[in-house]
Amino acid sequence: MGGMDGINEAGLAVALLADNETPDPEPTGVPQVGLSEQQVVRYLLDTCATAEQAKEALLLAKHYYFFTPCHFVVADRSGASFVWEHSPRRNREVIVESDLRTAGRLVCTNHLLHRWPDPADIPDDQGPDGTAAQTYARWQTLAEATRSGALLDDQAIREQSAAVRFSAPAQQARTFWHALYDVADASVEFSFYLHDRDGESLYTPPIGISLGGR
């Protein structure tokens, strides 16, 4: 009844990312009144065509999380984007806008962006005591790659994503899929994890799906 990420025919793309930073989460484990984390994705894709409409829809809805607290990255065909977050105690709703300093690039991993408005303050979590998803290190890698604001082709985006993917020889975790969305064409390219072989994680060739575009 929900989704992890997706795109609709209007070119609106939405993805959820788990918040691995908030302490003492309180998942419901059962359905509640409102929208759970996966239902938020479908709700926006079913009802909105633009990032501005998505903001209004999120502000009107009641939210809870069934399994884990999440934040959501939303982008539309015009190039507008934002990240929707709740404060750690779920007492405030926060909209993080795209960064004009990086030509509108907006990097999101698994920590709450509004808690770290100055990138220089982001902790180093690459050691054995780092966060579960090394969210700070992965954010810094992607932020550095996009800092110039230069226009990127599909291959460059794939390479940047691969640089923060959990694959061999990483222990205990694998990135199950990668999705590359084209909001102009309302299309997506998926690549799925297969297995490890000879110390390398293997993925499927790109699988493309299009909703027709413009």
Rg over alpha carbons for the chain, rounded to the nearest Å, is 17
Amino acid code (one letter) for 210:
S
What is the pLDDT, as a whole number, of residue 130?
A: 55
Length of the chain: 214
Task: For residue 135, give the 3-state DSSP assignment.
Answer: helix
What is the pLDDT, as a whole number, of residue 190?
A: 96
Give 180's strand partners: 189
Q: Which parts of the chain fold into alpha helices (H)?
A: 37-47, 51-60, 135-146, 154-163
* CATH number attached to the domain at 5-210: 3.60.60.10
Task: At 87, give phi and psi (nearest 5°).
Answer: -65, 160
Q: What is the mean pLDDT of each run of 10 residues along the chain (214 residues)?
A: 93 95 89 96 97 98 95 95 93 89 83 89 72 84 87 91 91 91 95 95 95 66
What is the pLDDT, as a whole number, of residue 17?
A: 96
Spatial distance between the Cα atoms of 113 and 128, rounded to a whole number of angstroms:
23
> Angle 190-193-195 (CA atoms, 0-180°, nearest 5)?
155
